[in-house]
Amino acid sequence: MLPFVKPTVTEEDIERINEVLRSGWITTGPKVQAFEQALSEYLDGALVRVFNSGTSALEACVLACDIGPGDEVIVPAMSFVASANVVVRAGARPVFVDVGLDTRNIDIEAIEAAITPQTKAILPVHFAGLAADLDAIYQLAEDRGLHVIEDAAHAIGSDYQGRRIGADGDLICFSFHPNKNMTTIEGGAVACFDPDLAKRLERIRFHGIERDEAGQMDVLEWGGKMNLPDVNAALGLQQLARLDDYNAKRRALVRRYFERLSRHAAVRPPADGEGHSWHLFAPLIDFAALGIDRAGFQARLAEREIGSGYHYPAIHLFKLYRRMGYRDGDFPNAERIGEQTLTLPLFPAMTEADVDAVCTALDAVLAELTRGTGT
């Protein structure tokens, strides 16, 4: 079975982790400091603070922007649910807007229409590694006095107009989950350029604690337990050194996908773009037109030893957000993506022959179903 995702962990990676375990210092320490410095250098000098997950990184940013009850944050309706959950956790309201059908990225005109006096921030997502329209987003934010919290969980190593995501901006959050382009097992990071914000993020990630020059502790505000252990950072240092090679391989595999992907009327490929790091390759499949549901389609691929995934349901249709008043039909593009998306295998250890095998299996399933529906 070819899985739809598989982290690349080498024997050298394992040995670096073992060295940390043998050292006797396995929680946050020198490896975390080294990892933050390496990420800072990778992002052209950004101030970087690492966290135990991308979700923690997002939550810390929401809190650092003093977002709370009565406030609103504009969020795309198509993303992983963490993008909105962190807003709810702070007591604020996520205001959803629709996305582009092919880019899956937030609609700029919809952002402008959604801004109210209660809006405190815009939270764009660089979906699958394709950069959102940052110039337009930051111009809106500047005009309206808003923060921008970039959810770059998919976009470590992506470029926007020749600059790495995270090398410019307000607050930029990354994820290092095992299915991401590089991993620390679990982990995340925030890049920013304001020393005061960076200091506040440090407090929020560890109980709100601040120490003076003598090492005396005080607690200035609420803080969580969001720190990254050195064990994870040791893996991150290894993975970061190979990230550009990993992303180059992903781009090569996606080029092969575009060459081989079926031109069937029921298949709609995702948008490509300059600087895309291709965390996911997820075409839309019109399952209804083929007379099958997604689970049945995935089962037919699995019979041919091809794994697949599902990224993502539209956030506003979960029960939590329906209770806030969101309904079917509010965001047509996000809903269509949620109904039709199918994530195909993509990871650096794959070969072009693996891509060919995926596309051959996809073609076979489409041919079977087309004969069955007479389309």
Q: Is the dihedral of CA 321, 324, 329, 332 positive or negative?
A: negative
Tokens of 253: 């595999």
Residues with Cβ within 8 Å of 322's Cβ and at least 6 positions away in sequence, in order, are 316
Dihedral of CA atoms 87, 186, 155, 82 in degrees, nearest 10, equals -20
Candidates 6, 31, 120, 180; catalytic one: 180
Largest CA distance in the chain: 78
Please report which helix (H) or strand (E) contains residue 219, including its range: strand 217-219
Q: Which residues of 131-149 are buried (b: 16+ CB within 10 A; e: fewer)?
A: bbbbeebbebbeeeebbbb
Within 10 angstroms of residue 97's Cβ, the number of other Cβ atoms is 24
Q: How far is CA 48 from the centre of its chain?
A: 17
Surface-to-core class of residue 312, CB atoms within 10 Å of its CB (0-12 exposed, 13-18 middle, 19+ buried): buried
> Residue for token digits 């210092």?
25
Instruction: Return d(Cα 128, Cα 45) in angstroms, integer.
Output: 25
| String of DSSP letters for 100-151 | -TTT-PBPHHHHHHH--TTEEEE--B-GGGPPP-HHHHHHHHHHHT-EEEEE
180 is catalytic: yes
Share of the chain residues as helix, strand and coil, in percent rounded to the nearest 5: 45, 15, 40
312: cis peptide before it, omega within 30°? yes
Relative to beta strand 188-192, strand 171-175 is: antiparallel
Tokens of 252: 């090569």
What amino acid positions are annotated as catalytic residues? 180
